[in-house]
Amino acid sequence: MEQRFSDLIILLASGINQRRMYFDEHPKVRAFAADFSLQLSRLLGETGELEFSFGVYNGKFIRNGKYLVGPSIAGRSLITFAERLGCGGFAFRLPTEPHDAAAFFNLGATVKDKVGTLDDARRLFDLRGVGHISLLPPYGEDKGKPEDQPDDLLENEEDLGDDFSPLMAVYQSLYEIVSRNNELSRRGHDVDIQDARSFGETLTRSTGDVLDVMQFIRYPDYDSYTIGHSVRVAALATVVGRRLGLDEDLIGELSTAGLLHDLGKGRVPESILFKPAKLDPQERAIIESHPALGAQILISSGDASELMVSAAWGHHLRADGGGYPRMPGWHRPSFAASIIHVCDVFEALTAMRPYKRSMSPLAAYEIMFRDRGSFDPRPLSALVHALGLFPPGSEVVLSDGRRAVVSLKGHDLDRPRVRITHERSGRALDPAARPLIDLAGEPGLEVVDIVLIGATA
Amino acid sequence: MGASTYASETILDVQDQPLKQGMSNLLKAFDRLMTVGTYYSTDHEQYKEASRKACGIIVESIGGRSSVILETGSAGLMLEGQVVNPQHRNVRQLHELLVSLNIARLEIDHGLSPEDLRLAFKVLHEHKLALGSSTDFREVKVQGLPPTVRVLGANLVLRDEEDGGIDDLLADIFGVEDVSAVSSPEQLAKQFLDLITRVIENLRDYEKENGGGASGGAGTDKQEMSPQLRRLAEDLRNLVLVDPDPENLLRLVHNARRALDLSRDSRSVDLVFRMLRKEVSRAKPVADPENPDRPAFNRDNHDLELFRAELDRVSAAPRGTWVAENPVRLDYLGICFQILQSEPPPSLEIHLLAALEVALGEESTGPEVIDLCAAAVAAGVRTGHPSAAGRQIQAVAHILRAHHLDLLARFWYRLWSSLDNGGRGAAWPYLANDVLLGMDKADPADLGALLEGLGSVHLHEARQSQVVLFGLPCMQEKSASPAIFTVPAVSLYALHVLLLESPLADWHGPRIYRLMMRQPPNQLTGLVIQVLGEYRAEDRALLTRLLEQQAKGTMSGELKVWIVQLLLGQLETLPQSRRREEWVDPALFWLGQLDHEAARSVFERVLTERRLLFFKAWPEECRSQVERMVESWNNASAT
């Protein structure tokens, strides 16, 4: 149930992001507003509560005394909004109507600076017709503590929850570096290669095995697909690089190249980048210029390595010579470009989007194999062999009805080692009592379903 | 054969518009070659000759593009955005060949050579023969084409723009934070339902026309359908309720469009039924107690055995040297050159040249890198931007001269070999520059070939790049590689002429003069040099004319007069003490050859002059020479 509340927070942040891209009456914005209203009323109806609230403190979301890690990463726009309003959180009462949510998104997207005091912010909400949504006082104010304020928040950071791992700190840092570089690129300023390089190396050192990497992949990033996409491509590139037996320095370079491969998109007008309809040939030509633009930005920086330039230029090049930019006969892409190409496509196919379930890895593999001319077979097979059909961290359903989490890829691609998390009845097992099963030794047991990341009821 | 041969008739597209520049000639060149190919094998001399001509026209038609693409389609043959009737007499052969091999796209690179063209047609015809003689169904995979000719099979090409192939799917995914506007589940479902309604209507009409359907009175459409069709319609509508996954809906919409197209043709109705029933049968979710509405992974929908076999095949690709065989360095250099060829802003060009310096300057730079640089620069020359190409040549040559002088000649050899005449003219001053500056440690064969190349450009072409040459480093230093003095002056006459006219003429003049003296291009030139004696700056113009004369093979009137005046001047005032010098006899001969009338006075003097009233003043050899010549003139006059 708490996951669903977390999803609501992400939905709020996504609504703000949609409003940033489109005008307030745009169907997408209205759809998000309507969906939030519906989800909220359903959830509160099931729980019997009249209000849904959460806190914002120190750049993170808090609910019931716990930091919400996923939403804290994905919901940055909402956190920024709260900070500008000077509030300590939000409370949504029934019946929060779609027009309330839409007005909330509108404010979230258009408030650019700090709004005086909390009272000023409340007046702004009233003026803009945001009904049934309250602004909670910031933590530490004497004007009454909001509910769920964690008293020992500052002293007891052990209470951070199981999800908060050092990897998340890395993820957040990577997210910020990519976001910053994209903004620098968009404004025509020099990008920060050294920072990206150091974080790329950190990623390589931090992700010792596939399980670590898959934790990156699992976290939703509705906030900005482009940024999270680059972070996840970087993570996948480390996986492929290790499987191919590359040395750690080279893997570090690949990782950094993954972070920077879409830098050129910062120079593509957002009206084209986020156009909600099919692109005309001119617009497509502009989109297809982003690899070349990215390479030029990197070369101009003077700091980028040859591998980074190669990956930025060639990550949309097909193995059969197609793709873009056009490749003359005397020029062929490097192994690095081929690796990033494979990771780029796999991530795009399997990642979560608003209103799009993530595709299972197997379905993604099938699509990629079907278009066999596109991909160099070596990084493609390395990816499959490294991740398996059910990558570590995947939640799966077994043929006997139990649910499990994949802990380790098995020797056979479709027979991993799993840790049982739920009984057939659906009852969750105590974390201390979750058996580990090697499906390779259980011929009568197999994975029949994979819980796709981001699936909601 | 030039393009003008075909200029008289331009091919029109299906809208009666002339094809874009060069495309008519390109198609005619293909057609002509294929016609010749019906009479001669690809190894026959006639076919080779035809392929040379055709290749020249094709490459000329491609012009500054990197390649040209021809695509087959139901409307006809498509190129450069225009469609040509596939039955056009100049198009039919090629179109039929491509269609028979299921080739949707044919791409011809600008670097096409006659050998490539012959090989390409040989391969295509062999495949066509094999196809024609097969007794079972087989998928054609064209293999063995040269790198400059590429094909794409129709089964890989997405002719329907709305097809859910991987590129379109990725375009939808990459394009926006969300999938495109039509990809929300509600909109996709609505689209699917609309399409299915129309499909069902078509099927219902078919049933009615063929006596099927349910009897029944007025009412809804369902009552006019057969129970079978009604059940199918309900099952199809339920698909979107069971599985609202946008990814699946995209596929359903795509298939529904196909079904709609097919359902318009009564001959395809059975196929439509089968497609739709298959679609319904695929939707069999595995029940999940917690989330019964969630679509299942469903192993039945994923053929793991097939996937495993495919993975094994893909994994069989050798990996050991893959990284080494696809190095970043070559890719990076290629990228730098490609950006340079796009005429980047000066600030970026500075970075690019600096990047080249770093990359090429490394100790590990070897022949493979050099060959890539040569290919890249050649491509730049072909794009037709001389100044940009010149900057690239200079940049590479400068770097190699500083760090890898031993590879400079290889670079030039590879580059020069890749260029056509026009390209060579553009590259000539830079080659001359490097030859003059010297290419130490060069392979003698490469250097010899480069000297030959340097000499192959005629003076009038070289003069077009005179300004460029005079601005290059070779004109800043009073030095020249000995290499240019190892071959006869006339071999590099264009270069020598320009050197004699250059700012460093005072320095080069004596050296060229000595070369002409050592290795006179012909007897007359050797004589003139002997007569001139020491080098003087005012003789440069005469030396220039002498070089031109030898290169052209004819003597201008001006040069003749010049030489005659020179010889007369010397002979008329020649003191007796010098009349036995070895040049005198030939001088008399050539004077007589060049100008009878001018020679008469000298000849008479040679024959009649006395010293001390008795002794002949001129040597016997001279007198005999003159007598013979006078006799021959007299004989000639008599006849």
- pLDDT bin (cut points 50, 70, 90) of residue B157 is very low
Tokens 């934790």 correspond to A215
Separation between Cα atoms, residue B174 and residue A316, nearest integer Å? 12
Average pLDDT in chain B:
80
B/e letters for B615-629, b = 16+ CB within 10 Å, e = fewer, are eeebbeebbebbeeb
Residue A180 domain-assigned (yes or no): yes
B634 CB-near residues (< 8 Å, 6+ apart): none
Tokens 């129970």 correspond to B227
User: Quick check: A334 pLDDT over 50?
Assistant: yes
B/e letters for B281-314, b = 16+ CB within 10 Å, e = fewer, are eebebeebeeeeebbbbebeebeeeebeebbeeb
- pLDDT bin (cut points 50, 70, 90) of residue B172 is very low
Q: Over the stretch A94-149, which tens digit does the pLDDT of each residue have? A: 888 898 999 999 999 888 888 888 999 999 998 888 889 999 988 765 444 444 43
Report the pLDDT averaged over residues B453-467: 89
B77 and B216 inside one domain: no
Task: Report pLDDT for A457.
Answer: 24
β strands within B11-95, DSSP E: 67-72, 77-79, 82-84
Task: Report pLDDT for B158.
Answer: 30
A292 and A405 inside one domain: no
Q: Indicate which CATH number applies to the domain containing A296.
A: 1.10.3210.10
B128 and B95 inside one domain: yes
- Give the gap in angstroms from C-alpha B131 to the nearest C-alpha of chain A: 23
A139 or B145, greater pLDDT: B145
Residue B450 domain-assigned (yes or no): yes
Residue B327 domain-assigned (yes or no): no
Task: Report pLDDT for B287.
Answer: 40
User: Quick check: A370 pLDDT over 80?
Assistant: no
- pLDDT bin (cut points 50, 70, 90) of residue B179 is very low
Report the pLDDT averaged over residues A57-85: 78
Task: Determine whether B315 is exposed, middle or buried from the number of CB atoms within 10 Å of its CB (0-12, 13-18, 19+).
Answer: middle
| Least confidently predicted of A19-23, A384-388, B80-84, B625-629 | A19-23
Task: Report pLDDT for B51.
Answer: 93
Tokens 């699946």 correspond to B248
**Distance, C-alpha B88 to centroid of its chain:** 28
Q: Touching check for A287 and chain B: CB below 8 Å? A: yes
Q: Touching check for A289 and chain B: CB below 8 Å? A: no
Residue A154 domain-assigned (yes or no): no
User: Quick check: B212 pLDDT over 50?
Assistant: yes
Task: Report pLDDT for A352.
Answer: 64
Q: Touching check for B80 and chain A: CB below 8 Å? A: no
Domain count, chain B: 4
Pick B179's closest partner by Cβ from A353, A367, A389: A353
Which residue of chain B is at minimal alpha-carbon distance from A222?
B177
Query: What residues of chain A lie within 8 A of the CB of B298, using their CB?
Result: 448-449
Highest mean pLDDT among A219-223, B266-270, B320-324, B593-597: B593-597
Query: What residues of chain B lie within 8 A of the CB of A331, using their CB?
Result: 331, 334-335, 337-338, 372, 376
B275 and B418 inside one domain: no
| 8 Å CB contact of A309 and B296 | no
A192 and A295 inside one domain: yes
Choose the final residue of a domain: B252, B285, B306.
B306
B116 and B78 inside one domain: yes
Task: Report pLDDT for A220.
Answer: 52
Q: Which domain holds residue A411?
A: 395-451
| 8 Å CB contact of A330 and B307 | no
Pick A276's closest partner by Cβ from B166, B180, B245: B180
Residue A84 domain-assigned (yes or no): yes
B215 or A54, greater pLDDT: A54
Report the pLDDT averaged over residues B547-562: 83
A93 and A175 inside one domain: no
Closest CA to B524 of B492, B559, B497, B558: B559
Residue A281 domain-assigned (yes or no): yes
Task: Report pLDDT for B174.
Answer: 42
B353 and B302 inside one domain: no
Domain count, chain A: 3
**Distance, C-alpha B72 to centroid of its chain:** 23
Task: Report pLDDT for B141.
Answer: 67
| Least confidently predicted of A182-191, B12-21, B503-512 | A182-191
Query: What residues of chain A lie within 8 A of the CB of B178, using their CB?
Result: 28, 276, 353-356
A61 and A126 inside one domain: yes
B488 and B360 inside one domain: yes
Task: Report pLDDT for B167.
Answer: 54
Pick A377's closest partner by Cβ from B156, B304, B317: B317
Separation between Cα atoms, residue B447 and residue B416, nearest integer Å? 12
B123 and B191 inside one domain: no
User: Quick check: A170 pLDDT over 80?
Assistant: no
A419 and A314 inside one domain: no
A107 CB-near residues (< 8 Å, 6+ apart): A81, A124, A125, A128, A130
B/e letters for B324-342, b = 16+ CB within 10 Å, e = fewer, are eebbbbbbbbbbbbbbbbe
Residue A160 domain-assigned (yes or no): no
Interface test with A, best of B162, B170, B178 (most A CBs within 10 A): B178
Residue B337 domain-assigned (yes or no): no
Pick A353's closest partner by Cβ from B178, B286, B336: B178
| 8 Å CB contact of A325 and B338 | yes
Q: Over the stretch B579-627, which tens digit does the pLDDT of each residue have? A: 999 899 999 999 999 988 888 999 999 999 888 888 888 999 899 989 9
| 8 Å CB contact of B339 and A295 | yes
User: Quick check: B120 pLDDT over 90?
Assistant: yes
Pick B314's closest partner by Cβ from A325, A381, A401: A381
Pick A381's closest partner by Cβ from B148, B178, B311: B311
Task: Report pLDDT for B565.
Answer: 92
Task: Report pLDDT for B162.
Answer: 37
Pick A334's closest partner by Cβ from B177, B315, B327: B327
pTM: 0.62
Q: Touching check for B175 and chain A: CB below 8 Å? A: yes
Separation between Cα atoms, residue B265 and residue B612, nearest integer Å? 121
Percent of chain B with pLDDT over 90: 29
Choose the final residue of a domain: A96, A121, A136.
A136
Report the pLDDT averaged over residues A417-432: 87
Task: Report pLDDT for B265.
Answer: 66
Residue A143 domain-assigned (yes or no): no
A342 and A419 inside one domain: no
β-strand pairing of A447-451 with A395-398: antiparallel
Separation between Cα atoms, residue B88 and residue B23, nearest integer Å? 14
Choose the final residue of a domain: A362, A386, A410.
A386
Query: What residues of chain B lie within 8 A of the CB of A292, using their CB?
Result: 339
Interface test with A, best of B331, B341, B356, B381 (most A CBs within 10 A): B331
Choose the final residue of a domain: A386, A421, A442.
A386
A417 and A370 inside one domain: no
- pLDDT bin (cut points 50, 70, 90) of residue B260 is confident
Instruction: For B576, list phi and psi in degrees, rounded to 5.
Output: -60, -35
Instruction: For A328, list phi and psi in degrees, rounded to 5.
Output: -70, 165
| 8 Å CB contact of B178 and A457 | no
Task: Report pLDDT for B301.
Answer: 55
Q: Which domain holds residue B85?
A: 3-156
Q: Over the stretch B276-315, which tens digit does the pLDDT of each residue have? A: 776 766 654 434 444 444 444 455 556 666 677 777 777 7
Query: What residues of chain B lie within 8 A of the CB of A307, using their CB?
Result: 328, 332
B397 and B451 inside one domain: yes
- pLDDT bin (cut points 50, 70, 90) of residue B444 is confident
Q: Touching check for B349 and chain A: CB below 8 Å? A: no
Task: Report pLDDT for B431.
Answer: 95
| Least confidently predicted of A175-189, A382-396, B153-167, B311-325 | B153-167
Task: Return left, alpha or beta for B613; rule: phi > 0 is left, psi -120 to 50 is alpha, else beta.
Answer: left
A405 and A261 inside one domain: no
A369 and A402 inside one domain: no
User: Quick check: B638 pLDDT over 90?
Assistant: no
Report the pLDDT averaged over residues B84-101: 85
B98 and B181 inside one domain: no
User: Quick check: B360 pLDDT over 70?
Assistant: yes
Query: What residues of chain B lie within 8 A of the CB of A413, using their CB?
Result: 308, 311
Task: Report pLDDT for B415.
Answer: 94
Closest CA to A52 of A61, A149, A43: A43
B368 and B507 inside one domain: yes
Task: Report pLDDT for A148.
Answer: 42
Residue A141 domain-assigned (yes or no): no
| 8 Å CB contact of A381 and B178 | no
B/e letters for A49-64, b = 16+ CB within 10 Å, e = fewer, are eeebbbbbbeebbbbe
Separation between Cα atoms, residue A11 and residue A5, nearest integer Å? 10
Q: Is the dihedral of CA A116, A122, A125, A127 positive or negative?
A: negative
Query: What residues of chain B lie within 8 A of the CB of A370, using their CB?
Result: 166
Separation between Cα atoms, residue A71 and residue A78, nearest integer Å? 10
A381 and A324 inside one domain: yes
Query: What residues of chain A lie within 8 A of the CB of B66, using their CB?
Result: 326, 328
Residue B329 domain-assigned (yes or no): no
Check if the beta carbon of residue A416 is closer than 8 Å to that of residue A388.
Answer: yes
DSSP-based three-state secondary structure for A67 = strand
| Residues 353-392 of chain B whose Cβ lies under 8 A from any Cβ of chain A | 354-355, 359, 372, 375-376, 379
- Give the gap in angstroms from C-alpha A360 to the nearest C-alpha of chain B: 8
A279 and A328 inside one domain: yes
| Residues 123-152 of chain B whose Cβ lies under 8 A from any Cβ of chain A | 147-148, 150, 152
Instruction: For B273, list phi and psi in degrees, rounded to 5.
Output: -60, -45
Q: Over the stretch A8-40, which tens digit does the pLDDT of each residue have? A: 888 888 888 777 766 667 777 888 888 899 889
Predicted ipTM of the assembly? 0.72
Residue type, B3: A
Report the pLDDT averaged over residues A43-61: 86
Check if the beta carbon of residue A71 is closer than 8 Å to that of residue A9.
Answer: yes
- pLDDT bin (cut points 50, 70, 90) of residue B129 is confident
Instruction: For B61, list phi and psi in degrees, rounded to 5.
Output: -70, -35
DSSP-based three-state secondary structure for A269 = coil
Separation between Cα atoms, residue A37 and residue B178, nearest integer Å? 20
Choose the final residue of a domain: B552, B587, B603.
B552
Q: Over the stretch B403-443, which tens digit does the pLDDT of each residue have? A: 999 999 999 999 999 998 888 999 999 999 999 999 878 88
| Alpha carbon distance, N-terminus to C-terminus of chain B | 47
Pick B334's closest partner by Cβ from A331, A380, A381: A331
- Give the gap in angstroms from C-alpha B177 to the nearest C-alpha of chain A: 6
Helix (H) or strand (E) holding A45: helix A27-47
B563 and B484 inside one domain: no
B126 and B253 inside one domain: no
| 8 Å CB contact of B302 and A362 | yes
The tokens describing A272, both together, are: 């084209």
DSSP-based three-state secondary structure for A404 = strand
Q: Touching check for A23 and chain B: CB below 8 Å? A: no
A378 and A421 inside one domain: no
Residue B232 domain-assigned (yes or no): yes
Pick A329's closest partner by Cβ from B147, B296, B326: B147
Task: Report pLDDT for B290.
Answer: 43
Q: Touching check for B247 and chain A: CB below 8 Å? A: yes
| 8 Å CB contact of A244 and B323 | yes
- pLDDT bin (cut points 50, 70, 90) of residue B1 is very low
B316 or B165, greater pLDDT: B316
A269 CB-near residues (< 8 Å, 6+ apart): A286
The tokens describing A292, both together, are: 């070349």
User: Quick check: A453 pLDDT over 50?
Assistant: no
- Give the gap in angstroms from C-alpha A296 to the nearest C-alpha of chain B: 8
Choose the final residue of a domain: B156, B185, B209.
B156
Residue B314 domain-assigned (yes or no): no
Residue B319 domain-assigned (yes or no): no
Task: Report pLDDT for A166.
Answer: 56
Q: Touching check for A179 and chain B: CB below 8 Å? A: no
- Give the gap in angstroms from C-alpha A20 to the nearest C-alpha of chain B: 12
Query: What residues of chain B lie within 8 A of the CB of A360, using their CB?
Result: 297
User: Quick check: B48 pLDDT over 50?
Assistant: yes
Residue A434 domain-assigned (yes or no): yes
Q: Touching check for B332 and chain A: CB below 8 Å? A: yes
Report the pLDDT averaged over residues A413-430: 87
Task: Report pLDDT for A157.
Answer: 35
Highest mean pLDDT among A256-270, A297-311, A359-373, B65-79: A297-311
Residue B311 domain-assigned (yes or no): no
